[in-house]
Chains A and B, each alone.
Chain A
């Protein structure tokens, strides 16, 4: 019997959730016995070439590329999991949600204290660049999400419990110490 296939990605996130995933330490050896990894920064596979069972999404959607990747994941994964606060509610990037995007761009490229090197006052407008969204969207506003693992980052044990439960079909345990929003 073939092993369940897992894909992961980080959208508008800090990779902290992936770091936390690696904090399962030596259980990573058990994990590779249990599942096969497909598209993921962990193995650097860049494109989907087959249907996956589980997709773990870190980060919310701040730009058009995030949207496209997320939709790609929805298409290629039977189960999608929002991993961490950014995927669930926008997280830190969504602190900008109360500020019009134009002001954000001006602060970043024209008016802010760190724009010293942008002497030409260039705004990023190349067609190849992702387009910034008007606000940061939680993943479940864009596609259907099946499960949520909160935390900043989610505790390694929580991720481990969840992946094992999804793979084995067992009930997932949610001990008090593991479900935290920070």
Chain B
């Protein structure tokens, strides 16, 4: 074992900064990070074992015990339950013969839960090894388990159970694109290389000006002006400059970057090259969330083709000194790594803990050099803007929100999928478009966004009104909004917190417990008021976006659905005890062998 681990470490030149890659390889090789591996890594990288373990234990897809030759990670997003996740899970357990969080005795199959994997439009979905299985049913699960027991190749099993396979340049997957275009910026036919050719003829400053003029703003959710970010980075005058494409699409309910990378990878990479020219960056990275590792080889293939065509590499398009290449960095399962500075920490092989700001990544980012981190969708829009100009881009959308937005729409509706639409569409129009007549709530921007009721459905999707990274989770009237969405989303934030900031780490747990008190019928009006008051505290106190928004599912439902909380309150008293006499004495009575005698009052 030691030899294998050493050769993995050598593959990355014993560079501590590549610890994440080493661990991914080790997990792949041994279906876990064995204890011995921790020791060897610590020794050869000259760090203590607890330093190796701090990284290992941070990421969801690293396990200390073997996860199974077939490691089944079944998504547990709230939307998956709408599509029958419960019976799919039950079938897995029955057919495999173990419960979730267990591995069969022979080590063949392990069943695991995982949070939103970016497949909300085709749930229930699971990742088995590096292969995606979508739209699972009882029958499909039976077939999959049988095939796993026969030891079939996982890719072969996918071919067998899929109704159809999506096929493009070597990518064969069950994952559908479900793309609908209502307005076209991104998905207008862009001739490969045309935008880059134009960009090469411009100075870096001219490109930055053009992007500034276009009013392109970050599509990940925060909406920071892209041109300004580039400008700040240029002003840092780094010896080296890095460009990172943030493909860690982790906000529950969003899956648009998946579609962009599946359908338009050339346009994305070409846009990155244009950005690199503007930033005078020599190295670029795509930080790809682990859940999308099924497209890694495909993307590598596209990159190679573009190198062959001189769209990447040395002296790009013949321009002397324009060198730029892209490496794909795989994540290992962490929501907070979508925050740009956490992503950078992760790229450096560490725990994905967001950094303190200042300094900002454009000042000191990856390896302490100026670094621009842009979302997939943001970058992919650069090429069309280059070709057709800032004025054209601004002519689409609203005053403050230029161009189009990709929405990831899922939940209770007839046509879930990715929609490219002009900024400014109202929620009501959107619901009509996807066939969702009986909508109780829309969770705009995912759990970190806002949960709105029908009185808000006349509002429009735009930075000046409902700003969003594009996750739209539709909740039908038949759902229990608090139990089925708000509680699991709050648990999601508890689990995904890096743990660094006290209010995010501990207060969110306190909020969840208070929410449970109310849901369990032990709440009072005072509890609702306190829940709201306490939820506000983290907003300004925490460092990063996760911490600042982790109370949003609770806060925005108290604002817009207070009646749902009040329905659970059974008394006018402001104090309700959670003490349960019967439960409290049950264990000790059993231990000493007596029948509990509970007083009547």
Contacts and interface: CB of A to CB of B under 8 A. Distances in A.
A–B in direct contact per CB < 8 Å: yes
B596 interface: yes
Contacts of B579: 67, 137, 141-142
Contact of B588 (A126, A127, A134, A142): A134
Interface residues of B, number: 22
A144 B590 CA distance: 30
A88 to B, nearest CB: 16
B597 interface: yes
A129 B361 CA distance: 65
A42 interface: no
Interface in A119-152: 123-127, 131-135, 137, 141-144
A105 to B, nearest CB: 5
B168 interface: no
> Interface centre among B581, B587, B601, by most A CB within 10 Å?
B587
B597 A134 contact: no
Contacts of B595: 127
Contacts of B583: 134
Nearest to B594: A125
B599 A105 contact: no
Contact of A101 (B578, B587, B599): B587
B586 interface: yes
Contacts of A97: none
Contacts of B581: 64, 67
Contacts of A144: 575, 577
A127 B593 CA distance: 11
Interface string B565-601: 0000000000101110101111111111111110101
Nearest to B601: A71
B592 A105 contact: yes
A46 interface: no
Contact of A134 (B587, B593, B594): B587
A131 B588 contact: yes
B584 A134 contact: yes
Contacts of A111: none
Contacts of A105: 588, 591-592
Contacts of A125: 592-594
A27 interface: no
A50 interface: no
Given A102-B591, A124-B592, A125-B592, A142 B585 contact: no
Contact of A141 (B578, B590, B596): B578
Given A68-B599, A141-B579, A144-B575, A133 B593 contact: no
Nearest to A68: B599
Interface string B452-487: 000000000000000000000000000000000000
Nearest to A67: B581
B340 to A, nearest CB: 39
A106 interface: yes
A141 B592 contact: no
Contact of B587 (A67, A68, A100): A100
A132 B585 contact: yes
Contacts of B594: 125-127, 131
Interface in B233-277: none
A158 B494 CA distance: 39
Given A101-B591, A105-B592, A123-B593, A133 B578 contact: no
A68 B575 CA distance: 18
Given A125-B592, A125-B593, A102 B577 contact: no
A123 B591 CA distance: 9
A64 B588 CA distance: 11
B577 A141 contact: yes
B422 to A, nearest CB: 54
Interface in A28-67: 64, 67
A102 B588 contact: yes
Nearest to A109: B592
Contacts of B575: 144
A142 B577 CA distance: 6
A69 to B, nearest CB: 11
The 3 closest A-B pairs by CB, nearest first: A132-B588, A125-B594, A144-B575
18 contacts: A71-B601, A101-B588, A102-B590, A123-B591, A124-B592, A125-B592, A125-B593, A125-B594, A131-B596, A134-B584, A135-B584, A137-B584, A141-B578, A141-B579, A142-B579, A143-B577, A144-B575, A144-B577
Given A131-B589, A132-B588, A134-B586, 16 more contacts: A64-B585, A71-B601, A101-B587, A101-B591, A102-B588, A102-B591, A106-B591, A123-B592, A124-B592, A125-B592, A126-B594, A131-B596, A133-B584, A133-B585, A142-B579, A144-B577
Interface of A: 64, 67-68, 71, 100-102, 105-106, 123-127, 131-135, 137, 141-144
